Chain A
Amino acid sequence: MKVPISWLADYVKIEGNIKDYSDMMTMSGSKVEGYEKPFHEITNVVTGKITEITSHPDADKLVITKVDVKTDLLQVVTGAKNISIGDIIPIALHNSTLPNGVVITKGKLRGVESNGMMCSIAELNLTKNDFPLASEDGIFILPKDTKLGVDIKEILGLDDTVVEFEITSNRPDCLSIIGLARESAVTIGKKFELPNISLLEKGKGTAKDYINVTIEDYELCKRYTGKVITDVIIKQSPLWMRKRLRDAGVRPINNIVDITNYVMLEYGQPMHAFDLNYLKEKNIVIRRAKENEIIHTLDDQKRILNTQNLVIADGDKAIAVAGVMGGANSEVNNDTTKILFESANFDGVSVRLTAKQLGLRTESSARFEKGLDPYNANKALLRACELVEKLDAGKVVPGIIDCYKELPAKKIVPFRPKKMNEFLGTSIKEQTMIDILTSLDFEVDKGKMEIAIPTFRSDVEAWADISEEVVRFYGYNNIKASLQSGNRATQGIKTYEQRIRDTIRESMLAMGLMEIYTYSFTSRKVFDKLLLKDDSKLRETVVITNPLGEDFSIMRTTTIPEMLQVISHNYNRRIAKASFFETSNTYHPIKNEKLPLEKNILTMGLYGDYNFYSIKGIIEKLADTLGITDVRFVADSNNPSYHPGRCAQIKVNEDVIGTIGEIHPDVADNFEVPKRSYIGELDIEKLYKLTSVLKSYKGLPKYPEVDRDLAMVVDESVLAYDIEQVIKSNGGDLLQNVTLFDVYRGEQVGENKKSMAYALSFRANDRTLTDEEVNKAVKEILSKLDSEIGAILR
């Protein structure tokens, strides 16, 4: 809300500097976004009268003029066409400044001295909206009675300061000069009273002679007030009004339209003016629109309405979309002689939905949708009539049209100073509270200990809201800090799950992976890029109905695409090698449930100088850290996103807890990542159940280990896992550890064969082992390796 200080000063005088005022307003709850003098760039431009025009000796297109600026008679050379002797014009003197950083100095034009420049409206950053009678491209000719030698900003009213307020959604009453004047007065400690309005009412008859008004739907229209003006003369409104409208950001149009806008800004009550000559029936009905009813609005658009929309109709014909925009058929124009001023109270939600449906958000609808005070409608209406008389724009007809079924009574709530102080942690005196509330137009009944809330404050309902009213003027920063002394103690600890997640993160970091954060929504296109089958479960998604675009249209069911995008981003910036992890959610719809399943997933991504065993090692080390034993890796050639020969399911018991592998080369191409990129996915929620965080100490061995190395040749198809299983299950209690330390392929071992070398360690807890004992165990292992998988000892 842009507020010219001069306008505010009609109701409350602001003294002192504007920064102090702004700070005080911000601290009392009306946040000042900024303030400026919109025309501060114009300096040293004054009014002058042209007293002489002679031709230039060396230039056909230039003339030499003498300009009287009261203190001096200046010679000015100009190329202007629209000037004549006696014209009063703005003249930029030597060393003057104009908007956009223009500086004017004296100089010679084709050899003749010129001591300034005559200005057009454009050069002063004004438009024909501000001064409709001014020439579009010629010099700005001022009225004949303009004083000479006076600063142009003073003459044109360009010297005002405009303060911009950010008004919160609960305070529609502050979307007005009156509302902010009331807040300002309380803030700076002055009195504010709404002035009484008295009208001459020189029009003939009474309003009801001209028009009949019926409300059909009281739910959507609580009140409809109107007054009739006859003998209307459409002209431009006076400079002071145009200036204030412009400073407040509204385009001046003509006196009647300007009055409706002026009152809207001043009282916060939107108004409308109908040309009565165009209302054939003289019978206004406020009703819901018919299905597919059509209206041409002021902006020359055809609008199709439905029964959710409220219209103002003349007889059968809609003439306005209530609270949103008037119809073209009853618009005030240059021939208008009789008007009806409308000042009504329409339902906020209905106006909001209608404005949204029509894609037509106006100054009017923006105010209505926040919920307005029905008691303000007639006040604003009278103010508009007062302005009509002041501007000599027509004759106000006596009598008022005022339709309503029932107006809401003032809310009465208990006054609870003790509760309020307990709640705020303050000891504000009861009288201080009463003083603040009274100045805000609340009525406090000390006997009954009750407060009557003003009707324009529908946001205030009970003691908590009233506490805020008091404390924002008492001073938020006068509340003393305290720390719940004497209150019940609570435990500041993380949950088991949170600690597991911390451990996972620490493990990832320790293994050199960088943590990343990526978006949770994605595009359906990624499923094809991941080569997912048509019936893949991952294609069942949570869909956003109003996404920012196709790329952000579904909630992700897999985190792989974002991981690959991050790899691609870095790879394309010539980073040769990197590893990442993310802990984040995937989202999966559940049948007959409103909310989807949100799975917490650990995703890992590695590229450059890594191999399958790098990612596998990360999982093994993580499992070890979490105390998860029995992790198995089972080859999986059916996952379409991974290399069919380099992918494994991570299993604990029979439960699949994740997948690791090299990304499928086609997927790598689709996401523009290097071929040998490795991805791991782990279901964190499944880890919670498997993890044993409570570690228990095992005694250190007292007796030495005996080590044996076994190298054997097996068929290429034999899995390391199978060999290990045979060794482990036949090693007996003495076998402590089995480690594969070498794999060799080559001529010496033969085609389709490989040599696998294992280090075995044996130990007993109660004695030093003898060679015989170990040999016996090894012999047993070897014989089973031979019989079960055909391993030949090398």
Chain B
Amino acid sequence: MEQQLKDILHQVKLLASDVKSLQDIEQLRVKFLGKKGELTVVLRGMGALSKEERPIIGKLANEVRTDIERLIKHANDELVSIEKGIKLKKEKLDVTMPGQTYEIGKKHPLTLVIEEVENVFLGLGYQIAEGPEVELVKYNFEALNIHEGHPARDEQDTFYIKPDVVLRTQTSPVQIRVMENKKPPIKIICPGRVYRSDAVDATHSPVFHQIEGLVVDKGITMGDLRGTLEVFAKSMFGEDTNIRFRPHHFPFTEPSAEVDVSCWNCNGEGCKVCKGEGWVEILGAGMVHPKVLKNCGIDPEIYSGFAFGLGVERTAMGRFGIDDLRLLYENDVRFLKQF
């Protein structure tokens, strides 16, 4: 009987290694383990065994059954995995064929620049202030120390609605409105649309955008202005960026400066972007003129402040290498998709 069991196991081993399909496996199972299967038949003869032999053969029979089950499962697993492999092979795709297209909108390059600047200053604790585009002369000029007779007020530069109402020529009037209504500390940036009487060409537009910043508090220094603009320049143009102040004149700041950053394209070596200078002018800045503070009801003996401004169009053109400002307002899809 022991020999019979060993023969069965041997037989199963042979057959299991040769199964071709899931049916073969089922047949194998029925043939040996089924109700009339060979193992079952052998086990039924156990009754004829002696008391001593029974436990030994019984144990052996169980081991054989376990082995057979294991063999069948193994054969089954192998077969399933082969069939899976075949199926996967059949499903092979040409991965070089184009992907399905999804339409996604793109932010306008001017928005990209505005948001980038906003994010730098939000991180520094600034708020974003807004104001009207059609503005009183009082706010656009007078409060900013630009008096009657100043060339900036000329009709050649400014669009007039009425003698005392203009299309704002800068976002600075927003600063005045904030200072009139809020006690220091004031830390704001004012992005917005501004207007100047320039005919449309590759570098001019009667409509353009500015972002101005204003900080007013006790003990604000020109060193703080420099520090702030350094942080800004590094955030916008990279950690290695340097800045340079050049004396200039703005009616609403004193001292005033034009601010250059080291050329992001050539790192100051001189190239087309910086016209060989190694520096690119990006900002106007200065300490808020004491008269401007006074105009807004802030005592310049107690408080001081700084202000700065940059042209969004010019920054976008420099940043993205756009050579014609008109592209920004033409809105050709082939242009917009590039950002």
Contacts and interface: CB of A to CB of B under 8 A. Distances in A.
Do A and B assemble together? yes
Nearest to B242: A477
A576 to B, nearest CB: 10
A98 to B, nearest CB: 27
Interface in B108-152: 108, 110-111, 121-128, 132-136, 148-151
Interface string A429-473: 000000000000000000000000000000000111101100110
A26 B193 CA distance: 31
A646 interface: no
Contacts of A375: none
A349 B164 contact: no
Contacts of B197: 546, 548
Interface string A246-274: 00000000000000000000000000000
A515 B336 contact: yes
Given A515-B336, A542-B161, A476 B246 contact: yes
Interface stretch (B46-54, B67-75, B226-234): B226-234
B247 A472 contact: yes
A695 to B, nearest CB: 23
Interface in B301-316: 304
B106 A514 contact: yes
17 contacts: A29-B248, A31-B246, A425-B222, A425-B226, A465-B254, A481-B227, A484-B217, A487-B220, A488-B217, A494-B128, A511-B105, A512-B104, A514-B331, A520-B207, A570-B331, A584-B193, A585-B133
B134 A542 contact: yes
Contacts of A31: 246, 248
Nearest 5 pairs between A and B by C-beta? A425-B223, A425-B221, A512-B103, A29-B247, A509-B105
Contacts of B154: 356
Contacts of A505: 107, 111
Contacts of B160: 544-546
A27 B260 CA distance: 12
Contact of A170 (B128, B155, B167, B249): B249
A423 B222 contact: yes
Nearest to B218: A487
B179 interface: no
A594 B247 contact: no
Interface of A: 26-29, 31, 168-171, 348-349, 352, 356, 369, 422-426, 462-465, 467-468, 471-472, 476-477, 479-484, 486-495, 498, 505, 508-521, 542-548, 552, 555, 566, 569-570, 573, 575, 578-581, 584-585, 587, 594-596, 598
Contact of A27 (B122, B124, B246, B290): B246
A595 B222 contact: no
A582 to B, nearest CB: 9
A495 B247 contact: no
Nearest to B312: A517
B79 interface: no
B10 interface: no
A353 to B, nearest CB: 8
Contacts of B104: 509-510, 512
Contact residue range for chain B?
35 or more
The binding surface of chain B is classed by DSSP as mixed
Given A484-B220, A510-B105, A566-B331, 12 more contacts: A29-B246, A424-B223, A425-B226, A471-B255, A481-B223, A491-B127, A494-B127, A510-B104, A516-B336, A519-B329, A545-B159, A569-B331
A512 B222 CA distance: 45
A465 B193 CA distance: 30
B148 A570 contact: no
B78 interface: no
A587 B255 contact: no
B185 interface: yes
B165 A546 contact: no
A115 to B, nearest CB: 40
B165 A423 contact: no
A584 B108 CA distance: 13
A495 B128 contact: yes
A423 B122 contact: no
B105 A515 contact: yes
B237 interface: no
A508 B105 contact: yes
Contact of B108 (A494, A516, A546, A552): A516
Contact of A548 (B199, B255, B304): B199
B256 interface: yes
A359 to B, nearest CB: 12
A514 B247 CA distance: 41
Contacts of B199: 548
A594 B150 CA distance: 23
B165 A595 contact: yes
A585 B103 CA distance: 27
A169 B150 contact: yes
Contact of B127 (A490, A520, A584): A490
Contact of B106 (A424, A509, A542): A509
B282 interface: no
A517 B322 CA distance: 16
A394 to B, nearest CB: 38
B84 interface: no
A578 B135 CA distance: 36
A573 B128 contact: no
Contact of A490 (B126, B136, B330): B126
A578 to B, nearest CB: 5
Contact of B193 (A169, A515, A520): A520
Contact of A598 (B121, B133, B151): B133
Interface in B288-339: 289-290, 300, 304, 328-334, 336-337
* Residue in A468, A512, A598 with the greatest tally of chain B CB atoms within 10 Å: A468
Contact of A518 (B151, B289, B329): B329
Contacts of B218: 487
* Residue among B126, B133, B199, B328 having the largest count of chain A Cβ atoms under 10 Å: B133
A508 to B, nearest CB: 6
A529 to B, nearest CB: 19
B148 A349 contact: yes
B26 interface: no
A488 B218 CA distance: 9
A236 B108 CA distance: 62
B206 interface: yes
Contacts of B254: 464-465, 467-468
A594 B148 contact: no
A570 B333 contact: yes
A509 B107 contact: yes
